[in-house]
Amino acid sequence: MTIHELHPEPGFTTDVFDRDAPPVLTVDPGDTVVVRSLDASGFLERQHSPGEQRPTMFDGRRGHCLTGPIDVRGAEPGNVLAVRIVSATPDDWGWTVAGAKDNALNRALGLTGAPSWLLWEIDADAGTATSDLGHTVRISPFLGVIGMPPNEPGLHSTIPPRSAGGGNIDCRDLTAGATLFLPVTVPGALLHLGDGHAAQGDGEVSGTAIECPMTTEAVLDIVTDVPVPGLHAVTPRGRITFGFDADLNAAMTEALAAMVTWMQDLYDVDRGTATALASSVVDLRVTQVANETWGVHAVLAQGAIT
């Protein structure tokens, strides 16, 4: 096993997905990567006051500032890339904003004036973040974006999550100890990492979490035999399946259908029995409502069925 380090320097970052972009790092299956990413906006310097605009990696940024792409030798469409998160360590600062966009949700919430910003001091050792207004929250760091480009030519937005290849999943359960299984979309996988979140609630309701730079250690591997098709994860809290769609009902159905399939395999039961079991123990959670394509994840907690 080899350990590789990757830093968010010019030429090693991007703000779009592009299957034709050359990789900035090539690794073997089973290798470990230690990847540093800037915050989603790509700030090159920390803010000193809430909402302060500092220099960024990209002028006229099109999407999240991501580190990559990383080529995994031998990865091909039809395989699944396993991304095991060993650790996720935020920098010592972050930000959150509400009301930054004119959309239906913000109008319904009455957020039609100037955006509301919070600037956070993050203490990773203590596991806390404290805002400029004095509120302290527990942190649970993870990456909002772990994903690959679509297998179509051209430049693709990093904002909507995709059932194939993942991307802007924004699932707060993908913390240290979690393994995310991503269906490979393009040869080499071309994995991108970024959009660090020190803390986020299910839904990411303002459109941002505690956005921060992050250092992530992950083991990358290729698997060919998985119990459930599509995007899924095994985390310290349980098993997770995902659904993404512009229709929240469709996203829910996608996540639930995958979980029922997984439970059929786990417990050797028919589909109706698996659905009945799921109704007793599976939680459906709104992953995020911020990214044009809604996300739902189904969670089967560890030890829920014995």
Which residue from 181, 257, 276, 165 is spatially nearest to 225, judged by alpha carbons?
181
Instruction: Work out the pLDDT band at 245, boundaries 50, 70, 90.
Output: very high
* pLDDT band per the 50, 70, 90 thresholds, residue 292: confident
Residues 179 and 290 in one domain: no
Residue 216 falls inside a structural domain: yes
Together in a domain, 51 and 177: yes
Give the model's pLDDT for residue 60: 85
* In a shared domain, residues 141 and 242: no
pLDDT band at 168 (very low <50, low <70, confident <90, very high): very high
pLDDT in tens, 271-288: 999 999 999 999 999 999
Assigned domain for 9 exists? yes
Pair of tokens at residue 150? 């679509």
* SS3 call for 219: strand
Q: Are residues 68 and 42 in the same domain?
A: yes
Summary mean pLDDT of the chain: 96
Co-location of 42 and 190 in the same domain = yes
pLDDT tens string 32-49? 999 999 999 999 999 999
DSSP letter (8 states) at residue 114? S
- For residue 81, being part of any structural domain is answered with yes
User: What are the distances in angstroms from CA 254 to CA 114, 121, 247, 296, 297?
Assistant: 37, 38, 11, 8, 9
- Please give the structure tokens belonging to residue 263: 């439970």
Residue 257 φ/ψ, nearest 5 degrees: -60, -40
Count of structural domains within the chain: 2
Domain that residue 215 falls in:
3-223
Q: Do 80 and 212 belong to one domain?
A: yes
User: Which residues are within 8 A (CB) of 233 and not within 5 positions of it... i.e. 6 or more apart?
Assistant: 171, 173, 174, 178, 179, 180, 181, 239, 240, 242
Q: Which residues contact 305 (CB under 8 A, 6 or more apart)?
A: 267, 277, 281
Please tell me the distance from the alpha carbon of residue 160 to that of residue 291, in angstroms, as a whole number.
Answer: 5
Question: Average of pLDDT values for 163-177?
Answer: 96
Tell me if 219 sits within 8 A of 178, measured CB to CB. no
71 and 194 both lie in a single domain? yes
- Whether residues 202 and 246 share a domain: the answer is no
Report residue 221: phi and psi, to 5°.
Answer: -145, 160
40 shares a domain with 67: yes
Q: At what angle do helices 248-267 and 271-281 cross, to 10 degrees?
A: 110
Main-chain phi, psi angles of 252, to 5 degrees: -60, -45
What average pLDDT does range 13-20 have in this prediction?
A: 98
Nearest to 66 by CA among 111, 13, 4: 13
Q: Which amino acid is located at 99 in the chain?
A: G
Rounded to the nearest 5 percent, the helix, strand and coil shares of the chain are 10, 40, 50
The CATH number covering residue 257 comes to 3.10.28.20
Residue 306, in any domain of the structure: no
Residue labelled with tokens 């220099």: 55
Q: Domain for residue 203, yes or no? A: yes
209 with 246, same domain?
A: no
Q: Is the pLDDT of residue 115 over 80?
A: yes
Distance of alpha carbon 10 from alpha carbon 145, whole angstroms: 19
Q: Which of 119-123, 191-195, 222-226 is the least confident region?
A: 222-226
Beta strands at 32-37 and 214-223: parallel, antiparallel or unpaired: antiparallel
Residue 1, pLDDT > 80, answer no
Instruction: State whether 147 and 43 are in the same domain.
Output: yes
